[in-house]
Structures are given as structure tokens and as C-alpha cells.
């Protein structure tokens, strides 16, 4: 029970990587807040965690809206009295080559992936500062490190998250709040389900461990970063990518 009685907000936990992180946190004894725009899915995940002996509540929020993020934190404090861990995981893609990319595609991706992390972190910082402890984990991507044709918006949002992570880490270190990022490579989720077979094969060739990742590969690292074992780690980006990026 590495996270016994901690309270964790995991954004974008109605499916995919976020859901796996929420389930892993609950398994380690944390009380988790399931967050997404889809109320039915959020409730279903929270209920399923409870059915397996965990503790979870569902709160509907669109992280791109500051008032939703503030409401999310307020509700969490009303329910459980504290927030120990925030995982900024909610993310979207709107892929297009730059020549064809619309302003709306650029704005939507930046609003969810980057501003969403700002909104949730800003909302959670005051209670964490009062507690004089906290863990913030941002889910970035190898694409934010390498770039990717057709993903200028997504890559910019994920690279932005890395700068955000390091700045927040420096600002909050004196309050014993750590801020780190996880950079997954290609992970099997709804987001990557649409990859064509040829593209998938070509991708796999670039991965030294020769497979796409699974959601639990990422969840395990999130548990570690949220646990006491990671108390002396802040401002870092940990790649979970089968060796795609070796810096
Ligand atoms: P999915 O598309 O499977 O899930 C995305 C999650 O984000 C859903 O729970 C969705 O819930 C939520 N979400 C989307 N928009 C919002 C919003 N505006 N407000 C609140 N929640 C939102 O994605 P993955 O699990 O694949 O990805 C999770 C994170 O990991 C993302 O940040 C992604 O960029 C990153 N990542 C993924 C990789 C991969 O290969 N899959 C690789 C590298 C990084 P709902 O629809 O209910 O709002």
C-alpha cells in the first residue's frame, strides 16, 4: 500500500492511461477522483474501482475551463478534505500537416493539453502549499521531445508541458511539492487505435524493446513518482517508451 489514504486527482481517467493510473493508485490505497467530460464513463470507472475494494468518486470536468478545474478541486476538498496528488493526464490530438492545420485544431489541443494542466495545477497549488506537501505528475509525450510530422499542435503542447513541469518544480520545491513528467512513447489506447497497420509496423521498428507500451507500463511509473520512494525527485521527465528516446 504505497499510497495509503492519499487523495489523488487524475484527469482524463475515464479511459486509457488515466484510467490505468487511477486504478493503480486505488490498488495502492489512495482515494481517487475520476475526471473526464463523460459523466457516465467517469461514474462507471469510479463504481468499478469501488466494486474491487477501492475508494473513488467521479467528478465531471472539462480541464480547458478554469472554473471546471476550480470546481473539481473544491469538490475534492469537500469530499476528502485534502489533495495529495494531481496527475495532469487529460489530452487530445487533432492531427494535420501544418499547411492544413486550422486555428481551431491548434487552439483546442493547446487548451486541453497545456492550459488544462495550468488550470488544474493552479487550482490545486494553494491547498498543497498549506499541507506543505504534494505530488504533481504531468503526462507529456516523446513527441514533445522529438517532434512529429502532422502533430505540430500536439508536440508544442507536450514540449510546453515539460517547461511547465520544470518551472513548477522550482517554484514549489521549498514547500515539499514535487512536479515531474512522464513521457510515454506509443501506448495501446483509443488514441493510438486508429494507427494503420503499416504505420504501426514502422513505429515498432523504432522501439528497441520492439513493442508498443501498455497502460500499466505508464501507471507503474506514476505510482512510483507519487510514492514516498520518489521524495527526492523533482523537475524530471521520465520516458516510458521502450527506449525510443535515449537522451
Ligand atoms: P485517450 O484518448 O484514451 O483518453 C483521453 C482521456 O482524456 C479520456 O479520459 C478523456 O475523457 C480525457 N479528456 C479529453 N479531453 C478532456 C477535457 N477537455 N477535460 C477532461 N478530460 C478530458 O488518451 P490516452 O489514454 O492515450 O492518453 C492519455 C494521455 O497520455 C494524454 O495526455 C496523451 O497525450 C498522453 N500520451 C498518450 C500516448 C499514447 O500512445 N496513447 C503517448 C504519449 C502520451 P472524456 O472523453 O470523458 O473527456
DSSP state letters, 192-224: TTT--HHHHHHHHHT-TT-S-B-HHHHHHHHHH
Q: Which atom of ligand 1 is nearest to the CA of 42?
A: 47
Q: Which atom of ligand 1 is nearest to the CA of 184?
A: 43
Q: Which residues of the chain have pLDDT under 50?
A: none
Q: Which atom of ligand 1 is nearest to the CA of 62?
A: 19
Q: Catalytic residue among 154, 168, 213, 234, which? A: 154
Mark whether 154 is an active-site residue: yes
pLDDT single digits (tens) 51-89 = 999 999 999 999 999 999 999 999 999 999 999 999 999
Dmax (CA) for the chain in angstroms is 51
Please report, in angstroms and rounded to a whole number, the separation of the first and last CA atoms in the chain: 33
What confidence score (pLDDT) does residue 6 get? 98
What confidence score (pLDDT) does residue 247 get? 82
Is the minimum distance from the CB of 222 to ligand 1 under 6 angstroms?
no
For 57, the enclosing helix (H) or strand (E) is strand 55-60
Is the minimum distance from the CB of 10 to ligand 1 under 6 angstroms?
no
Name the residue at shortest CA distance from atom 41 of ligand 1: 187
> Left if phi > 0, otherwise alpha if psi is -120 to 50, otherwise beta: which for 132?
left
Q: Is 166 exposed, middle or buried (0-12, 13-18, 19+ CB in 10 A)?
A: middle
**DSSP state, residue 187:** B
Is the minimum distance from the CB of 14 to ligand 1 under 6 angstroms?
yes
Angle, nearest 10°, between helix axes 152-172 and 116-131?
10
Rounded to an integer, what distance in angstroms lies between the CA atom of residue 193 and that of residue 48? 24
**DSSP state, residue 82:** -
Amino acid at each position: 500500500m504505497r499510497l495509503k489514504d492519499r487523495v489523488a486527482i487524475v484527469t482524463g481517467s475515464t479511459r486509457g492511461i488515466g484510467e490505468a493510473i487511477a486504478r493503480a493508485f486505488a490498488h495502492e490505497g489512495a482515494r481517487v477522483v475520476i475526471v473526464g467530460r463523460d459523466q457516465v464513463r467517469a461514474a462507471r470507472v469510479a463504481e468499478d474501482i469501488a466494486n474491487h475494494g477501492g475508494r473513488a468518486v467521479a467528478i465531471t470536468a472539462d480541464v480547458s475551463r478554469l472554473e471546471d478545474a476550480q470546481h473539481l478541486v473544491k469538490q475534492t476538498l469537500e469530499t476528502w478534505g485534502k489533495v495529495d496528488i494531481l496527475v495532469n493526464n487529460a489530452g487530445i490530438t487533432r492531427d494535420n500537416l501544418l499547411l492544413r492545420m486550422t486555428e481551431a485544431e491548434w487552439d483546442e489541443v493547446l487548451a486541453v493539453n497545456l492550459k488544462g494542466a495550468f488550470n488544474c495545477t493552479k487550482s490545486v497549488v494553494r491547498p498543497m502549499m498549506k499541507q506543505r506537501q504534494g505530488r504533481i505528475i504531468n503526462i507529456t509525450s516523446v513527441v514533445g521531445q522529438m517532434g512529429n510530422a502532422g502533430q505540430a499542435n500536439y508536440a508544442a503542447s507536450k514540449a510546453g508541458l515539460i517547461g511547465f513541469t520544470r518551472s513548477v518544480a522550482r517554484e514549489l520545491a521549498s514547500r515539499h511539492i514535487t512536479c515531474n513528467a512522464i513521457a510515454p512513447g506509443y501506448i495501446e489506447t483509443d488514441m493510438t487505435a486508429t494507427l494503420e497497420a503499416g504505420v504501426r509496423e514502422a513505429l515498432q521498428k523504432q522501439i528497441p524493446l520492439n513493442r508498443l507500451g501498455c497502460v500499466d507500463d505508464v501507471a507503474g511509473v506514476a505510482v512510483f513518482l507519487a510514492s514516498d520512494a520518489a521524495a527526492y525527485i523533482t523537475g524530471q521527465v521520465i520516458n516510458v517508451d521502450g527506449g525510443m528516446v535515449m537522451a
